[in-house]
With several copies, the nearest count.
Chain A
Amino acid sequence: MSVAASNLSREELLALYQRMLLIRRMEEQLARDCAAGKLPGPVHLYVGQEAIAVGVCHHLEDRDWITSTHRGHGHFLAKGGDPARMMAEIYGRADGICGGFGGSMHVADFSKGIIGANGIVGGGIALATGAALAAQLDGDGKVAVAFFGDGAANQGVLMEALNVGALWKLPLILICENNGFSEFSPTATVTAGRIVERARPFGVPALKVDGNDVLAVWQAANQAVRRAREGGGPTLIEAITYRTRGHVEYEVTFITEPYRSEAEVEAWRAKDPIGRFAAYLATHGLAAADELEAIERAVGETVAEAVRVAEASPEPDPASATGHMFANPR
Chain B
Amino acid sequence: MARKRMIQAMNEAILEEMERDPSIVLFGEDVKASLFGDTRGLWKRFGPDRVRDTPICEALISGMAVGAAAAGRRVICHMMFGNFVYTGMDAIANQAAKLRYMTNGQITLPITFLAVSGGGRSAAAQHSDAVHPVLANLGGIKIVMPGSPADAKGLLKAAIRDDDPVFFLQAAGRGGEPGEVPDEELVIPLGEACIRRPGRDVTLVAIGAMVRPAIKCAEALAGEGIEVEVVDPRTLVPLDLETILASVRRTGRLIVVDEARDTCSSASHIAALAAEHAFDALRAPIRRVTVPDCCIPYAPVLERAVLPGVEHIEAAVRATVGWRRPR
Contact = CB atoms under 8 A, between A and B. Distances in A.
Interface of A: 40-42, 65, 67, 89, 92-93, 96-103, 105-106, 108-111, 115-116, 118-123, 125-135, 137-138, 144, 151-152, 154-157, 160-161, 163-164, 167-168, 182-185, 189-191, 254-257, 259, 315-316, 318-330
Nearest to B126: A119
B23 to A, nearest CB: 8
B106 A98 contact: yes
24 contacts: A98-B103, A100-B302, A101-B125, A102-B104, A120-B83, A125-B60, A126-B59, A126-B64, A129-B60, A130-B66, A133-B64, A134-B67, A134-B68, A144-B71, A154-B55, A156-B57, A164-B55, A185-B29, A259-B33, A316-B297, A324-B101, A325-B293, A327-B105, A330-B190
Contacts of B142: 326
B205 to A, nearest CB: 19
Contact of A108 (B56, B67, B102, B123): B102
Interface of B: 25, 27, 29-30, 32-37, 40, 49-50, 52-57, 59-60, 62-73, 75, 83-84, 87, 90-91, 94-95, 99-109, 121-127, 139-140, 142, 162-164, 190-191, 238, 292-295, 297-302, 304-306
Contacts of A315: 299, 301
Q: Which 4 A-B pairs have the closest CB atoms?
A: A126-B63, A130-B67, A103-B298, A119-B126
A204 B327 CA distance: 74
Contact of A321 (B37, B99, B191, B294): B294
Q: Which of B25, B30, B55, B306 has the most CB of A within 10 A?
A: B55
Given A92-B301, A98-B106, A254-B37, 6 more contacts: A126-B62, A137-B49, A154-B57, A157-B60, A168-B52, A318-B302
Nearest to A126: B63
A129 B64 contact: yes
A184 B30 CA distance: 7
B56 A152 contact: yes
A69 to B, nearest CB: 11
A122 to B, nearest CB: 7
B57 A160 contact: yes
A183 B30 contact: yes
Contacts of A92: 122, 298-302
